[in-house]
Amino acid sequence: MMETFTEILKIILPALLVMLTAWLVIRNMLRDDQERRRQDLLLQTVKTITPVRLQAYERVVLFLERISPESLIIRTARPEMTAPQLQSALITAVRSEYEHNLSQQIYMSNEAWEMVKNARGTIVRLVNSVASQLPPAATGEELSRLLLEEVVEMDTEPTKAAIAYIKSELARIMG
């Protein structure tokens, strides 16, 4: 009886050791394979998202350039416009540009998008503030001149500050 038990143990113990070793090896191989697949997926995602993200940053910088007062005036002002007409056209242009680029925020940090929103808001307030200083019969040319004078007096133009922030954020991301 004891001999039979010893014989069974001689067969079962090595079999159990082989099975345990095989199980550990297979488990580690599966874990390594799963990790490698996860890394591959992550790398593929980065390869896909990075160009889209860069494009979003480019579009937002273009948006900020387009809503800078100088650019707005060049694109929007017409010689025959009154100050209220130009004011309306400038505000409409800023809002239109903003709405066109609204979806870019999903690719940007909250801080960067806040800078963009603040720049847009500051430009709109600036246009409205300068327009309110003029008489209703003022020309668009007077509004343009006064608006550009206000921009020159600013420490940092809001669109330039936002562009600088976005560039620094992009450098951190790419760096």
How many whole angstroms from its chain centre is CA 123?
Answer: 20
Average pLDDT estimate for 87-112: 95
Per-residue pLDDT at 175 exceeds 80: no
For 16-38, letters b (16+ CB in 10 Å) and e give eeeeeeeeeeeeeeeeeeeeeee
Joined tokens for residue 167:
């560039």
Helix spans in 67-82 (H):
69-76
The residue type of 34 is: Q
Report how far residue 108's alpha carbon sits from residue 171's, in angstroms, rounded to the nearest whole number: 13
Closest residue by Cα to residue 69 from 112, 14, 119 = 119
| Angle between helix 83-101 and helix 140-153 axes, rounded to 10 deg | 60
pLDDT at residue 85, rounded to an integer: 97
Per-residue pLDDT at 81 exceeds 90: yes
Average pLDDT estimate for 150-173: 93
What does the pLDDT look like over 9-67, one tens digit per residue? 888 888 899 899 999 999 999 999 999 999 988 888 777 778 888 999 999 999 999 99
pLDDT at residue 2, rounded to an integer: 80
